[in-house]
Amino acid sequence: MKKLLLVSALLFSANTMADDTSTTANPNDPCTIVMCMAAKVSGDSGGSDCDAAQRVFFSTIGKKHHVFNPAKTLTKRKNLLGQCPDGKDQAEKILSKFGRLKG
């Protein structure tokens, strides 16, 4: 129930902050990414609206000497999700599951 309330609150805040001319969520918005990745953590795909946001998350990678580096990837993804002030608790769960994975 707590997850549902948090996701609903994030969705509401993302919708109220969205531009009036836009009908879809901005996939580059950190709160949208948190909301969509939280759905993925709970076993839901998040729907087609989340595909772009999940792609942004998984394309955020860190490299060292042009080679994938899990530690740097975790840091970059943590910084990305940290830009959403309402998603701190969910961000930790997302990062523990997907933070070091190669997209």
pLDDT tens across 8-65, in order? 555 555 555 544 444 567 889 999 999 999 999 999 888 888 999 999 999 999 999 9
Domain ranges in the chain are 2-98
The structure tokens listed for 90 are 């969910």
Whole-angstrom CA distances from 75 to 41, 60, 79, 85, 90 are: 19, 10, 6, 17, 16
Which pTM value belongs to this model? 0.74
